[in-house]
Chain A
Amino acid sequence: AQSVTQLGSHVSVSEGALVLLRCNYSSSVPPYLFWYVQYPNQGLQLLLKYTTGATLVKGINGFEAEFKKSETSFHLTKPSAHMSDAAEYFCAVSSDSGTYKYIFGTGTRLKVLA
């Protein structure tokens, strides 16, 4: 079975500061990993994904994440937070094994302080 753990349901950073949102996964098969962002009253949209190949993945809006198999992690970072980054962020895992089906973490709400 697969699972995702996001540490910290709420994270606050100052504008211009580093953003770090943590995601750890559990998977017995090679995972596909995703970060999604949800703005108020909207659906989720993809920030970035890891499938195979390069472990450092760059996404939209200056975000990036690094797949670390030894740590079973896929943390999301952005060097400098912007007010428009305030949203809820979800990490998700899927795989080619079985009939899958994406599993989501419980989300991290990012607040950006002026």
Chain B
Amino acid sequence: DADVTQTPRNRITKTGKRIMLECSQTKGHDRMYWYRQDPGLGLQLIYYSFDVKDINKGEISDGYSVSRQAQAKFSLSLESAIPNQTALYFCATSSGASGELFFGEGSRLTVL
């Protein structure tokens, strides 16, 4: 089984719908992250969490919210999806700033 698991892997939805992307990890890491990948833009940080009670906005948090339900679970929500949120979303974990990021396989979201 993968260390970082994202569900769903693919989702097509309509404008205005609420969408939740889920992430769970078995690495035992406290730090979890949500990134968005768009072609030519690299990865942009949406939200990050250093423990269950710590949630921080990243570079592009508008239109998104997160929930850290447990050390191992970190969910990303789009309350009212819009077409420019069509992207590939990655969850990642790390043990600290000098440690590597461990990525899930990504959730491809299409908003029509």
Instruction: Please report the C-alpha to C-alpha distance between residue A32 and residue B42 in the assembled complex, in whole angstroms.
Output: 18
Residue ID in chain B nearest A48 by CB atoms: B100
Interface-lining segment among B11-19, B66-74, B77-85, B103-111: B103-111
Within 8 A of B (CB), among A9-47: 9, 32, 34, 36, 41-46
Instruction: Please report the C-alpha to C-alpha distance between residue A104 and residue B33 in the assembled complex, in whole angstroms.
Output: 13
User: How many residues on the B side are at the interface (Cβ–Cβ under 8 A)?
Assistant: 24
**Interface residues, chain A, CB within 8 Å of chain B?**
6, 9, 32, 34, 36, 41-46, 49, 51, 90, 92, 94-96, 99-107
**Interface residues, chain B, CB within 8 Å of chain A?**
4, 33, 35, 40-45, 48, 50, 56, 58, 90, 92, 94, 97-98, 100-101, 103-106
Find out whether the CB atom of B42 lies under 8 angstroms from the CB atom of A96. no
Query: Least Cβ distance of B108 to chain A in Å?
Result: 9
Indicate which residue in A34, A95, A96, A105 contacts B100 across the interface (CB closer than 8 Å): A34
Residue ID in chain B nearest A93 by CB atoms: B97
Q: Which residues of B contact A45 (CB under 8 A)?
A: 103
Known: A43-B103, A44-B103. A105 touches B42 (CB 8 A): yes
Instruction: Please report the C-alpha to C-alpha distance between residue A106 and residue B44 in the assembled complex, in whole angstroms.
Output: 9
Find out whether the CB atom of B41 lies under 8 angstroms from the CB atom of A32. no
Indicate which residue in B35, B50, B98, B103 contacts A32 across the interface (CB closer than 8 Å): B98
**Could you list some 8 contacts between A and B, CB below 8 A?**
A32-B97, A43-B90, A44-B103, A45-B103, A46-B101, A49-B98, A99-B50, A106-B41
Find out whether the CB atom of A102 lies under 8 angstroms from the CB atom of B56. no
Q: Which residues of B contact A99 (CB under 8 A)?
A: 50, 56
